[in-house]
Amino acid sequence: MKKNILIIMVITISLLFCSCSSTSQLHQKLIVQGIGIDTEKDTVNLTLQCLKADTSTQDKTEYEIIETTGDNISDAFAEATLKTGKQILLGQCHYLIFGRSAVITGINKEINFFVKNYDFPSNIYTFVSDSKANDVITVKDMAPSNIEQIAMGQKATGEICCMTVKEIASALINNFETPITSILKVKEDKITVTGNVLIKPNSFITLQPKQAIAVNILNNKINQLNSSVNFNNELVEYSLKSCETTVKIEKGSNYKLVFTTYAMLECENNTDNSLKEQIAKGLEENIKATVEKTLNTSKCNVFYLDKYLRLQNNGEYKKLKAEQELSGAEIEVNINL
Amino acid sequence: MTKSSSTRSVQIISTLGLFSMLFVTRIVINVTYSSDVLDVSNTWDYIISALLSMAVTAVMLVPIYFVNKNSHSLNFQDFVFTNFKKTYGVVFVVFALYFLYVCSYTFCLFSNFLNDLSNPQVNPLLISILLVVVCLYGATKGIQAIVRTSAIIFIFLILSFIFLFISLATQIDKLNFKPFFEDGFAPTANGLLTMVARNFALPVLVVLLPICKGNIKKGLSIWTVSVYAVIIIFIVVLTGALGDYIQYLKHPVLSGSAMGELGILKRLDVVYLGFWTAGMFVKISLYLYLFKEMVTAVFNSATGKTAMYLLGLLLVVLGVWANKSYYVSALWFNTFILCGFTVFIGLIMPLIFLLKTKRGVK
């Protein structure tokens, strides 16, 4: 009797937990590798780059593009299921691209949809298209790895600011922070990065690659920076290693932000103090101008200043919560090479 | 009506076995931690709650320890028969009701957890039924079998936590930590209340310490410190790695585990979920077993077993009901009721036992 019960249990468990009873093969799933979101008035247009599981081989991966429309993002995904007759699998998604119009309208609802979806990987990078997200995804020979390589540029050159879905979601829920990410443009069937954009509703504020370097240095996102400077009519290449920035927020009649960056300078002629001073001055001016532009002009906090304030002066942070204002701050930048 | 001590088979368990089992049962409940039970936006303050709860637990352990010391090697049932000659039934019924409550609370939490996260193709009800069947089977095998199983699960659980902590540690950002009591003392108080309420192991100790062989004082100390140390590490790692993102998550521990990466190893949440479900098995089996023992003490072995099977059925019904009805869920997850019940069974009852022994603390 016990043996029979055990056998019945084993069969039941294997049928239920191995999904043998309701199994679906790979070709029955819509394996989404990349998502593009464009918005038009009250509609959301989705462009899904999906893996062709039935024709892809080990040597060659094939993709198909699925385009759908809905009143909101859930409807658009539902339409993709109806259109293809396949079950959507978001767990293999590698990137997320928002169209220019989506950024201007606001991406909160879409981000909320993805972060609430347990299967969706929140550590993938998000980008913004200079025009439509569809233009980037439908480019010839577009593969998820191309997009992922762009994100790697953040650490390599510092000229790109890339945020993951998790980072963007955290900034959006926080209310004081503004997410920033790279702008992609299609030029002669190639995807290029033209700059960076501050994700703020009803605007499309861009930052140049040089300003992205300042943002990355202040946010401790780059460890090493390779650049060059014109010194005594000669182009001198240098690299800044072990970059680390500390932020101090002082409150007088107004906020005063003190950014202090420490880095090790490596160049052919690093004993020359005037070269060191020139590099430090250039960096200082760049950082100052970037903070002025983002914080004081555009009223965008991309430097996690609220978090520094929370740790350094919690009383002022609570006031900030009520006032929701950190702009108009006095800026001091110290570069120690 | 009741079994005498001479005919009741007494199963002896080791201190190491007992405390590793209680570690599993205490920690596994934390992985089901959800925004339904406790606010997730102030997790950082729960470090203070954990430290305070550790102190409260230590205080609550004192009478339990002395009751065991003064029990003259009698097991729990015989101790109650000896000291509560006319009202022993009340004591057993109160304990049985507590074990029933804990069992259903744990099961409802787990069922809720499954409902939110499981693959829609797998029916959570079927998983719940199977879990109850397996737990009932485990409970019929006795305490020694549960302890032995938990020893294996304990090792896997520890390994899963170590791996999880390491994989999330690289994502910790010190800016995500905030000063304590930023939003006042209410979050800390709520955290403390929940943690004290979840001290389900204390009544278990009252029942099982008399059949435990080994250095109990050392076991109690290591268990208390290690349980809260793991809880604190959990809070530090999750707060540091998730930051404000935690506010989006209904089940931060599982969602956090999905984000942990170590080289090519990614999305190990399914593996963790397997170990944690095994931990749930230990917990539910243990409380089903204790419920059966309490009913057996009042009636007889056959009634005890029947009551346990009925409880199994009740668990499935409650699991489904709690997920569908807001009121049932609100009542079942009410921290005040749970905390009151735990303090009564885990502190007041041992104090009454201590007074009954008429020897007091030496």
Chain B residue whose CA is closest to A16: B122
pTM here is 0.86
- Residue pair A334/A288 in contact (Cβ under 8 Å)? The answer is no
Nearest neighbour of B259 by CB, restricted to A122, A308, A311: A122
Q: How many other CB atoms are there within 10 angstroms of residue A25's CB atom?
A: 8
The answer to whether the Cβ–Cβ distance between B175 and A123 falls below 8 Å is no
The answer to whether the Cβ–Cβ distance between A16 and B123 falls below 8 Å is yes
Model pLDDT, residue B28: 87
Interchain CB contact of B117 with A (< 8 Å): yes
Model pLDDT, residue A58: 67
Model pLDDT, residue B325: 75
The answer to whether the Cβ–Cβ distance between A310 and B182 falls below 8 Å is yes
The answer to whether the Cβ–Cβ distance between A122 and B245 falls below 8 Å is yes
Residues of B in contact with A304 (CB under 8 A): 175
Distance from the Cα of B361 to chain A's closest Cα (Å) equals 47
- Residue pair B209/B216 in contact (Cβ under 8 Å)? The answer is yes
* Torsion, CA B190, CA B191, CA B192, CA B196, rounded to 10: 110
Chain B residue whose CA is closest to A117: B117
- Residue pair A259/A290 in contact (Cβ under 8 Å)? The answer is no
Q: At what angle do helices A273-291 and A209-218 cross, to 10 degrees?
A: 100
Model pLDDT, residue B218: 92
Distance from the Cα of A189 to chain B's closest Cα (Å) equals 32
Model pLDDT, residue A247: 92
Residue A322 burial by Cβ neighbours in a 10 Å radius (0-12, 13-18, 19+): exposed
The answer to whether the Cβ–Cβ distance between B248 and A9 falls below 8 Å is no
Nearest neighbour of A19 by CB, restricted to B122, B175, B244: B122
Chain B residue whose CA is closest to A19: B122
DSSP secondary structure letters along A227-245: EEEEETTEEEEEEEEEEEE
For an interface test with A, give the residue of B131, B171, B248, B273 to mutate (most A CBs within 10 A): B248
- If you ran DSSP here, which 8-state letter would residue B183 be given? T
pLDDT digits (tens, 9 = 90+) for A105-128: 999 999 999 998 888 998 899 999
Residues of B in contact with A13 (CB under 8 A): 130
Residues of A in contact with B257 (CB under 8 A): none
Q: What percent of chain A has pLDDT over 70?
A: 92
Put simply, the chain B residues between 140 and 179 with a CB less than 8 A from any chain A CB are 175-179
- pLDDT tens digits, chain A, 337 residues: what are they? 778 887 887 777 666 665 555 667 778 889 999 999 999 888 999 999 998 877 666 677 888 999 999 999 999 999 999 999 988 999 889 999 999 999 999 999 999 999 988 889 988 999 999 999 999 999 887 888 888 888 777 667 788 888 999 999 999 988 788 999 999 999 888 888 888 999 988 889 998 888 888 998 998 888 778 888 888 888 888 888 888 899 998 887 788 889 999 988 888 766 678 888 888 898 899 999 998 888 888 888 888 888 898 888 888 887 776 555 677 788 889 998 8
Instruction: Determine the Cα angle at B269 with ends B267 and B275, to 5°.
Output: 145
Give the separation between CA B238 and CA B246, rounded to whole angstroms: 8
DSSP secondary structure letters along A86-115: -EEE-TT--EEEE-HHHHHH--HHHHHHHH
The answer to whether the Cβ–Cβ distance between A174 and B244 falls below 8 Å is yes
Distance from the Cα of A304 to chain B's closest Cα (Å) equals 8
- Residue pair A143/A61 in contact (Cβ under 8 Å)? The answer is yes
For an interface test with A, give the residue of B113, B244, B272, B281 to mutate (most A CBs within 10 A): B244
Distance from the Cα of B73 to chain A's closest Cα (Å) equals 37
Residues of B in contact with A12 (CB under 8 A): 130
ipTM above 0.90, yes or no: no
Rg (CA), chain B: 20
Chain A residue whose CA is closest to B182: A314
Q: Which runs of E-coded beta strand occur in chain A? A: 29-40, 43-51, 63-70, 87-89, 95-98, 125-129, 163-164, 180-187, 190-198, 205-207, 225-231, 234-251, 255-267, 330-336
Pairing of strands A180-187, A163-164: unpaired
Give the separation between CA B259 and CA B269, rounded to whole angstroms: 8
Q: How far apart are the first and last CA of chain B?
A: 36
Interchain CB contact of B122 with A (< 8 Å): yes
Give the separation between CA B266 and CA B258, rounded to whole angstroms: 8
Residues of B in contact with A114 (CB under 8 A): none
- Torsion sign (Cα): B349, B355, B359, B362: positive
Distance from the Cα of A137 to chain B's closest Cα (Å) equals 26
Nearest neighbour of A16 by CB, restricted to B126, B182, B247: B126
For an interface test with A, give the residue of B34, B140, B245 to mutate (most A CBs within 10 A): B245
The answer to whether the Cβ–Cβ distance between B179 and A9 falls below 8 Å is no
Model pLDDT, residue B1: 42
Interchain CB contact of B255 with A (< 8 Å): yes
For chain A, the residues whose C-beta falls within 8 A of a C-beta of chain B are 9, 12-13, 16-17, 19, 22, 24, 91, 112, 115-116, 118, 121-123, 166, 169-171, 173-174, 304, 307-308, 310-311, 314, 318
Chain A residue whose CA is closest to B176: A307
Nearest neighbour of A13 by CB, restricted to B123, B130, B245: B130
List the one residue out of B231, B164, B233 whose CA is nearest residue B199: B231
- Phi, psi dihedral angles at A236 (to 5 degrees): -105, 125
- Half-sphere exposure of residue A51: CA atoms within 13 angstroms, side-chain side: 24
- pLDDT tens digits, chain B, 362 residues: what are they? 444 444 456 678 898 999 999 999 998 888 777 776 677 778 889 999 999 999 999 999 999 999 888 887 788 888 888 888 888 889 999 999 999 888 888 888 887 777 776 555 667 777 778 888 889 999 998 899 999 999 999 999 999 889 889 988 888 998 999 889 888 899 999 999 999 999 999 999 999 998 888 899 999 999 999 999 999 998 999 999 988 888 888 888 888 888 888 777 777 888 888 888 889 899 999 999 999 999 998 888 888 889 888 888 888 887 777 767 777 777 778 889 999 999 999 999 999 998 887 654 44
